[in-house]
Amino acid sequence: MTDAPPIHSIDTRAIRIPLTRPWGPDVTDIRVVAVTVRDADGGEGHGFSWTPSIGGAAVKALLDEDVIPAALGRPADPTIWHDLWRHVHEAGGGGVTTIALAGVDLALWDLRARRAGASATDVMGRRHERLPAYGSGVNLHYPLDELVAQAERWVEAGFEAVKIKVGKPDLAEDLERVAAVRAVLGPDRALLVDANQRWDLETATHAIEAFAEHGIGWIEEPLRADDLAGYRELALRLLGLGVDMPIAAGENLHTVHRFRDFLDAGALGVVQPNVVRVGGITPFLEIAELARERGVELAPHLLPELSAQVAYTLPETTWIEVVEDAGFGPLGALIEPTGVTVADGWVTGGPALGLGLRFR
């Protein structure tokens, strides 16, 4: 399988990172579990698990009590991911289990790259020097003037696409906000909207049809993330109505198997795996290959300082999501910059060695 030396030890450390502006009453910070893997030859790799506020303690407990004991003595290489996933599968095929596994997987990719004296991107095989970024915000609770001001900042920063939250109790208010942001963007920039699972099937159908006149690039998570039957029916309804608006989802799908279910059902036009929530780089690459086989667009969810490093290696050009004031760098969470930068609507750069993601 691999000639990597065995894993000698794994340490975890819980970190709480306050958000500059809360994403909502229940999300005021980000929880990170920093993971350090050491091999028998003295090599060291750094990874992390991540969740917005909810579940960080459970992730650390699963790592400490179940993942780490199963990993010790195995080769210090990402190829052990599937064995570890099978080991923790009784606790759930995805969710807390895959989030926990990501910490080890990322650390092992970091270690593999450090052994090679290269960046993780170059070890995986770089295909892009830069990727387009879109400005994103957790902004449903922003008053209209603040939402418009945020959109103006995105335009000034050079973003050619932006995403806003929708899902107000009154559709008329959503439409007012969408129209106001479209006026800021003009006709040529892409406007994406994200309902964050707030609607039922009837509400989603009605809202999406109403949004269509504003030239929406995609509608994200209109229904509960696990409602496969609902997504399939919604896609059929939009087709019947002649509404050409791709449905995007995936930030709350956790395995390649669930992504395959949604794609086989014809439910999605855009898949949005989160590198950490799916379990790390190893399963993310499998999901990206599946999307490529099915001819469906892929757009990584959040974590631009990590997502970009992986997306640089994909054959297709993918959009990188940049949430205002929410990156690890802007939040002051990292020991040193990763080298991933966002300027003029593009993501470029990265670390010279490994993944370059080490937390204070």
Q: Which amino acids are annotated catalytic?
A: 165, 301
- Residue 186 neighbours by CB distance under 10 Å: 9
Q: Are 78 and 105 in contact (CB under 8 A)?
A: yes
Q: Are 132 and 158 in contact (CB under 8 A)?
A: no
Q: If phi over 0 gives left and psi between -120 and 50 gives alpha, with beta otherwise, what is residue 42? A: left
Q: Is 312 in a helix, a strand, or coil?
A: coil
Q: Is 182 in a helix, a strand, or coil?
A: helix
Structure-block tokens of residue 320:
């990188």
CA dist 2 and 181 (Å) reads 52
Q: How many residues does the chain have?
A: 360
CA dist 103 and 106 (Å) reads 5
Strands 161-165 and 190-194: parallel
Q: What are phi and psi of 277, to 5 degrees?
A: -65, -30
Strands 341-343 and 161-165: unpaired
